[in-house]
Structure 1
Amino acid sequence: MSVLPDPGASRAVLVGASRFEYLEPLPAVANNLRALADLLCGPLSLQLPVRHVTVVEDPVAARTVMGAVRQAAAEATDTLVVYFAGHGLVDAQDQLVLALPDTEFGRVETGLSYDWVRQVLLLDSRAERHVVILDCCYSGLALGRMSAGRGLADQAAVEGSFLLAAAAETRTALAPVGETYTAFTGALLEALRQGIPGGPALVDLGTLYRHLRLTMEARGHPVPQARDRNSGAQVALGRNQADLPAAPVVAAAAAGADAGARPWPDPRAIRTVTGFFTALAEVRVVSGLTHQAVSERSAGRMAAGTVGRLLNRGTLPTTWGTTAVYLSACGVPDEQITRWQSAWQQLRAQNLPAETASPEAARDGGPEKARAWQRPLSAFRRRRDH
């Protein structure tokens, strides 16, 4: 069963190198980082709090990347996403090396061995699931060695994870001249932003991989590789935007729909207060109802303004009644409402002040989001280790 990670218990580290001393520049990589960070924090994907996404751009030293990955691995208990875009090299032992700004061909010690990252995920990570996305390019010699031995996805796989690798044949195919994004990441962003017509309600990694293979092949680009460990393919990166209602529906129409068949968020996947409110807001999106329509379906027990205040809270309600009314008005089946109540009770018992500190952690939207973006941008500039 596909599941959306709890954003409060998940982390993402996005690494990219676009400027190099000895290798050709990849200007699209800088655009990849900003677009993917924005997507992961926005309503089209995981809705991660901004502080849970670390962007490392053009790191001069390998320790800069390793420090960011190690910290995220220590903090994440649900899902950890690690992304790299840039030049990929292969050493004499057919091991993957991620190129840094001062990396030189033939001197793999100037790059970052992927095996170092892999060891952190295997040995030091608290996360239950790992998602590794590698948007790397290779020279013809590197491809020759790769084809003779293990593939990139085999090298990079981590138990309890999903590895998605671009495995492009040449740099030009991977980063077409004049394009905003690299080919692989551009297709990835497109799939999450626009959805997959005819696809499931959640864009899980297995579905995303199959869609990207078809898309890249149709465009004449090298097809990606993937490896799944322990059902990692069931981790979703967002709701299928092509499967959502095109416009909010009226209460009467929603009342006649088969509520039990709707892809409601699973409260059993909730681990934090942030995740609780993110999933609670997703309930209304899945229902297709406006705030006013939810109010009308509550038979006067909940005003439209109360709906908005509930979804924008930063702390758990001290009583269950309003949340139960909201879920029922949205059309959530009674047995699922019982699960929601259990999740609420568990969170109340846990008393997690770090996750209830700010309203933007729950919804991460509006003016607060614009101000919050100033923090990660300045943070990753400090990480660039000049």
Structure 2
Amino acid sequence: MSVLPDPGASRAVLVGTSRYEHLEQLPAVSNNLLALADLLCGPLSLQLPARHVSVVEDPVAAHTVVGAVRAAAGEATDTLIVYFAGHGLVDAQDQLSLALPHTEFGRMETGLPYDWLRQVLLMDSRAERHVVILDCCYSGLALGRMGAGSPLADQAAVEGSFLLAAAAETRTALAPVGQTYTAFTGALLDTLGRGIPGGPALLDLAAVYRHVRLTLEARGHPVPQARDRNSGAQVALGRNHAALPAVPVPTAPGGDTGERSWPDPRSIRTVTGFFTALADVRVVSGLTQQAVSERSAGRISVGTVSRLLNRSTLPATWSTTSAYLAACGVPDGQITQWQAVWQRLRADTSSARAASPAAAGGGEPERTRAWQEPLSVFRRGRGH
């Protein structure tokens, strides 16, 4: 079954090299990074908090990238997404190397071996699911590192991993001159942003891969490759907004809601995920906030609905959330599951508050302030 990651427990690291000293320039890569970061944080995709998306643009050295991925791998407990766009090269052992600004042909020590990133995911990651997206030439070489057939490949069988490569192991990727994005990432952005007409309710990686592949094949562009390990293909990168129900749920709350793909409360792990999924309930219901209020039989006003969906802390009581879910048409059995999640998160929050050093001193932990750096914390700023 397809699942949307909890945004509060997920992280994304977006890496790209657009400016090279010795290789052809790829200005579209910079646009790739900005657009993909915006999409992952926006309502058409995972709605990740901005602080959970690290953008590493034109990294000066391999350790900059590895450090960013390792940091995110230590934070994510649900899903970790690692994306790279730029030139891809092949070393003397026919292994993929990701080109950095100072990379030179024939001097592979100036690049970033893909295997280094793979090792971080294998050894340092706490995430249950891993998504690796490579938009570079020869990126299909990485598929062999995720496949079966050798002891080394078996070690790479991380539960829930999915690798999506822009090109086969012997093919170059495409960055059309004058286009805003590279061919592969442009198709990926379009798929996530517009949805797939007639596609599934959730844009899981299996559906995204098929659609992007068909799109690029129809354009005569290099077709992407993929490797799925276990449940990796079931990870969704967003809701399919092209497949949302055309009509609201039936008038009577709790009535027949058909085949609507309600957010699964069992996948919620964090308070951030709780409110993201709660807002998604209204989207799936097809109702406006005014309509939700009217269907609650006076239990919640429009203002109450708005305040509920824009909270950052859990409500102290359950009644308002219960009335909201019922008015949206969520089945009673799922409302019970929602209540269990609310109770668990409140207990976790109370325990964390009691154990926090700030609880005694009244101040905010230094680590929390540091994590509120802007999204471009790892970027090499232009003009510096």
* Cα gap change, 1:294 to 1:99, in 2 (>3 Å): same
| Structure with the higher fraction of residues in helix conformation | 1
Partner of 2:320 in structure 1? 322
Q: One-letter code of the match for 1:271?
A: R
Secondary structure of the corresponding residue to residue 43 of structure 2: coil
Secondary structure of the corresponding residue to residue 89 of structure 2: strand
Matched, 1:155 2:145: yes
Q: Give the paired residue count.
A: 354
Per-residue deviation, residues 325-384 of structure 1 (Å, max 9, x unmatched): 00000000000001101111110110156xxxxxxxxxxxxxxxxxx999213x133589
Matched, 1:108 2:98: no
| Aligned positions of 1:350-365 closer than 5 A | 350-351=348-349, 352=352
Per-residue deviation, residues 255-311 of structure 1 (Å, max 9, x unmatched): 697315210000000000000000000000000000010011111111111000000
Partners of 1:48 and 1:106 in 2: CA distance: 39
Partner of 2:289 in structure 1? 291
Matched, 1:375 2:374: yes
The equivalent position to 2:338 in structure 1, one of 337, 340, 343, is 340
Partners of 1:373 and 1:245 in 2: CA distance: 37
Q: One-letter code of the match for 1:235?
A: V
Partner of 1:166 in structure 2? 166
Partner of 1:362 in structure 2? none
Check whether the contact 1:95–1:155 (CA below 8 A) recurs between aligned residues. no
RMSD, matched Cα: 2.3
Partners of 2:335 and 2:122 in 1: CA distance: 37
Check whether the contact 2:58–2:380 (CA below 8 A) recurs between aligned residues. no
| Aligned positions of 1:65-104 closer than 5 A | 65-104=65-104
* Cα gap change, 1:211 to 1:122, in 2 (>3 Å): same
Q: One-letter code of the match for 1:317?
A: P
Q: One-letter code of the match for 2:112?
A: L
Partners of 2:252 and 2:81 in 1: CA distance: 36
Q: Which moved more, 1:153-162 or 1:221-230?
A: 153-162
CA drift of 1:254 comes to 8.0
Q: One-letter code of the match for 1:294?
A: V
Partner of 1:213 in structure 2? 213
| Aligned positions of 1:234-253 closer than 5 A | 234-245=234-245
Partners of 1:167 and 1:133 in 2: CA distance: 11
Partner of 1:303 in structure 2? 301
Q: One-letter code of the match for 2:375?
A: P
* Cα gap change, 1:88 to 1:254, in 2 (>3 Å): farther
Check whether the contact 2:203–2:238 (CA below 8 A) recurs between aligned residues. yes
Check whether the contact 1:273–1:347 (CA below 8 A) recurs between aligned residues. yes
Identity of aligned residues (%): 76
For structure 1, the residue ranges without an aligned partner over 5 or more in a row are 354-371
Per-residue deviation, residues 178-204 of structure 1 (Å, max 9, x unmatched): 100000000000000000011100000
Partners of 2:375 and 2:193 in 1: CA distance: 22
* Cα gap change, 1:58 to 1:254, in 2 (>3 Å): farther
Matched, 1:222 2:218: no
Secondary structure of the corresponding residue to residue 380 of structure 1: coil
* Cα gap change, 1:37 to 1:272, in 2 (>3 Å): same
CA drift of 1:154 comes to 1.9
Partner of 1:270 in structure 2? 268
Partner of 1:331 in structure 2? 329
* Cα gap change, 1:322 to 1:67, in 2 (>3 Å): same
Check whether the contact 2:254–2:326 (CA below 8 A) recurs between aligned residues. no
Secondary structure of the corresponding residue to residue 162 of structure 1: strand
Check whether the contact 2:68–2:378 (CA below 8 A) recurs between aligned residues. no
Q: One-letter code of the match for 1:81?
A: I
Check whether the contact 1:86–1:135 (CA below 8 A) recurs between aligned residues. yes
* Cα gap change, 1:213 to 1:254, in 2 (>3 Å): farther
Partners of 2:250 and 2:58 in 1: CA distance: 53
Secondary structure of the corresponding residue to residue 327 of structure 1: helix
Partner of 1:194 in structure 2? 194
Partners of 2:142 and 2:133 in 1: CA distance: 11
